[in-house]
Amino acid sequence: MTIADGLRSIRERIATAATSCGRDPSEITLVAVSKTKPAAAIRAACEAGQRAFGENYAQEMGDKARELGDLPIEWHFIGHLQRNKAKLVAPIAACVESIDSEELAIALDRRALRPLACFIEVNVGGEASKSGVAPEGIVPLAQRILALPRLDLQGLMTIPPYDPDPEKSRPSFRELRRLLDELNDALQLECPLRGLSMGMSHDFEVAIEEGATVVRVGTAIFGERT
Ligand SMILES: *Cc1c(COP(=O)(O)O)cnc(C)c1O
C-alpha cells in the first residue's frame, strides 16, 4: 500500500466514524505521525494533500523542517519535551500537543515567533511511566498558559494505557472529555476550549465517537516503525 492509499483509507475511516455518530468530519484534524520516517515519506504524504505532521523528537523535527522547508507543512510536536529543547521546537511548530508544566509553557512562549497552538497533556490513566499532568493539575496549568501572550490553548491531549482492543481506550477518552468540560466550567471563557487530541492508529474511531477533534495516526499511514 502506498502512503497516498494509506492516507485515503484513514480519511475515509475518519469520515465514516464521524458521520455514524452525527459529527461533521471537517471538525476532525488528522495529524500524520511521521516520527522515525524519512523526509521522502513526508513529502509523499504532503503531495497527497496532508498538511499536519506529528513528531516526537525536537532534533528530528528540526532536521525534517529544514529539509522540507519548501512544503506547506504544519508541524505538531507530540512527544515529551524538555524545557531546554523549547528553543528548537517553538520557532518551527504550529502546535505543541504535549505541554505538561508551567516551566515548559513559559519557555515555549518566550521562543515562539508567532501564536503557537498548544494542548495540555493529561495522564488520565495515572501510569507512573507516562508524562502529562494529573487531572488536578489541569486548571492551574491552563490558567498560567492563558496568561502567556503567544500560547494559544486549544484543549487537552492524552495517550491512554496501551491495549490492542480499542474499546479499552474508551474510558480514557470519555474521561478526557469530562475533564475538558470541567476545565471549561472552571475557566468560564467567552469562547470555551474545544480541542481534544486523542486516538492513534488502533483506536482513533473510538476516540472520534468520544469527541476527538485531533487524531494522531502514524503506523496506519506510514507502516510499522523499525
Ligand atoms: C507515535 C505516536 C502516535 C502514533 O501512533 P501509531 O500507533 O503509530 O498511530 C500518536 N501519538 C503519540 C503521542 C505518539 O507518540
pLDDT in tens, 79-88: 999 999 999 9
Identity of the residue numbered 111: R
Instruction: Assess whether pLDDT exceeds 80 at residue 128.
Output: no
Q: How far is Cα 74 from Cα 150, in angstroms, rounded to an integer?
A: 17
For the residues 149-159, what does the mean pLDDT come to? 98
Q: How far is Cα 173 from Cα 76, in angstroms, rounded to an integer?
A: 20
- Does ligand 1 lie within 6 Å of residue 207's CB atom? no
Task: Give the residue, by CA position, lying nearest to ligand 1 atom 6.
Answer: 218
- Does ligand 1 lie within 6 Å of residue 223's CB atom? no
In the chain, what's the furthest Cα-to-Cα distance? 47
- Does ligand 1 lie within 6 Å of residue 19's CB atom? no
- Does ligand 1 lie within 6 Å of residue 61's CB atom? no
The pLDDT score that the predictor gives to residue 204 is 98
Nearest atom in ligand 1 to 157's CA = 13
Nearest atom in ligand 1 to 33's CA = 4
> What pLDDT digit, counting tens, does each position of 28-57 carry?
999 999 999 999 999 999 999 999 999 999
For residue 137, report the distance from its CA to the centre of ligand 1, in Å.
24
Neighbours of 65 (CB within 10 A): 21
For residue 169, report the distance from its CA to the centre of ligand 1, in Å.
14
C-alpha grid cell, residue 122: 493529561
pLDDT tier at 1, thresholds 50, 70, 90: confident
Q: What is the DSSP letter of 160?
A: P
Q: How far is Cα 183 from Cα 172, in angstroms, rounded to an integer?
A: 16
Instruction: Look at phi and psi of residue 223 and say left if phi exceeds 0, alpha if psi is from -120 to 50, else beta.
Output: left
Using an 8 Å Cβ cutoff, are 104 and 83 in contact?
yes
Identity of the residue numbered 17: A
Neighbours of 56 (CB within 10 A): 17
C-alpha grid cell, residue 13: 475511516
Percent of the chain at pLDDT > 90 equals 96
- Does ligand 1 lie within 6 Å of residue 36's CB atom? no
